Amino acid sequence: MKFLKHFTFSAFLFLAFGWAQSYPPPTTLVTIPSAGTLVRGSYAMQMRIQKNGGLTTSLRAGLTDRFQFGLSFGSANLIGDDSLVWYPRPEAHLKYRLIDETESVPGVSMGLDTQGIGNFNSADSLMRYDVKAMGFFMAASKNWVTPLGNLGIHAGTNYNFAEVNDGDKDINYFFGMDMEFNPELSVLMEYNAALNENDMTAKTMSISRGGYLNAAIRWTFVEHLHIEMDFNNLLFDDEKVDYFQRELKITYIEYF
C-alpha cells in the first residue's frame, strides 16, 4: 500500500511537471518574444491600446512553420483631442525557429523586432521609444503539461542596434512564463532587465531594482480572438511616477 502511494505521487509529479508536450508556445508574452512562431498560412492582426490614447497596430504572417514576418505602425495620442504624433516609420518584425522543442530540448528562435513601446521621443534627440525595441534577439521556450493546462518558461537575450543615441549599447536579457488555466484563460508574467536603458550590467542585474516587470491576463473570447489586459512596469520608480501602466491588447489570428 505504501509503495502504491509513492508510485501514484511520483506519477502525478511526472505528469504535472516532467512531461513536455508539443503545445506551441505563444509567439510573444506581454512585450518579450518567445521561441514560438505562427504556423504556415496563418496571420495575426494586433492592436495595442496604450497610455494617453496611443495605438500600435501590427500584422504578422507565417510563411512556413518556422518563419514569420510582419510590419507595425502607430501613433501617440491617436485617441483623444491632442495632436497626432505618428511613429517616424513602419517597424519590421522577423523570426525564424532554429530548433524545434522536444521532451528534452527547448525550442530556440532568433529574429529582429524594431517596434518599441510607448511614445517615440525625438524632440530631445533621444530618438527612441519609451521602452526600447528588442532589436536582434534570441529566445528559448520550454513547455510542460500540468493538471491545469500548459506551462511555458521562456528566456532570451537581445541587442538593440538602432536606439543608441542615449549612449547605452549593452546587451539585454529577459525571461518570463505563461500559465494556461483552461482553454480560454491564461496568465503571463515577464521580466525585461532593460540593461540597455540604464548603467546596470548583467553582473549587477537584480529584479528588485531597474528593469520592467510586466504581467497580463489573456482571454480567448472566441476562437482565434485574444483579449489581453496588460499591467506594465510594476517595478516603477516612485520618484518619477506613482503608478504602473495599464494597456489593452487585441489579437486576431486567422488562416489564408
- Please report the pLDDT score of residue 179 as a whole number: 94
What is the model's pLDDT at position 100?
Answer: 94
pTM score over 0.95 = no
CA–CA distances in Å: residue 151 to residues 18, 32, 142, 179? 11, 17, 8, 5
Separation between Cα atoms, residue 40 and residue 153, nearest integer Å: 24
How many helices (DSSP H) and strands (DSSP E) are in the chain? 1, 15
DSSP 209: B
For the chain, the maximum distance between any two Cα atoms, rounded to a whole number of angstroms, is 74
Report pLDDT for 141.
96
Is the CA virtual torsion 247, 139, 113, 67 positive or negative? negative
Q: Which three cell numbers stand for residue 184?
A: 480560454
b vs e for 107-117, b when ≥16 Cβ sit within 10 Å of the residue's Cβ? bbbbbbbbbbb
Query: What pLDDT does 22 receive?
Result: 40
pLDDT in tens for each of the 256 residues of the chain? 444 344 343 433 333 344 444 445 689 999 999 999 999 999 999 999 988 788 999 999 999 999 999 999 999 888 777 778 889 999 999 999 999 999 899 999 999 999 999 888 887 678 889 889 999 999 999 999 888 888 999 999 999 999 888 888 899 999 999 999 888 899 999 999 999 987 666 666 655 457 899 999 999 888 789 999 999 988 866 666 667 889 999 999 999 8
What the chain holds in terms of domains, given with CATH numbers, is: 2-255 (2.40.160.40)
Cell of 132: 526600447
> Quick one: DSSP state of residue 15?
I
Q: Is 77 helix (H, G, I), strand (E, B) or coil?
A: coil
CA distance 41 to 25: 17
Q: How far apart are CA 104 and CA 108, in angstroms?
A: 13
Residue by residue, DSSP assigns 98-160 as: EE---SSS-EEEEEEE---EEEEE-TTS--EEEE---EEEEEEEEEEE-SSSEEEEEEEEEE-
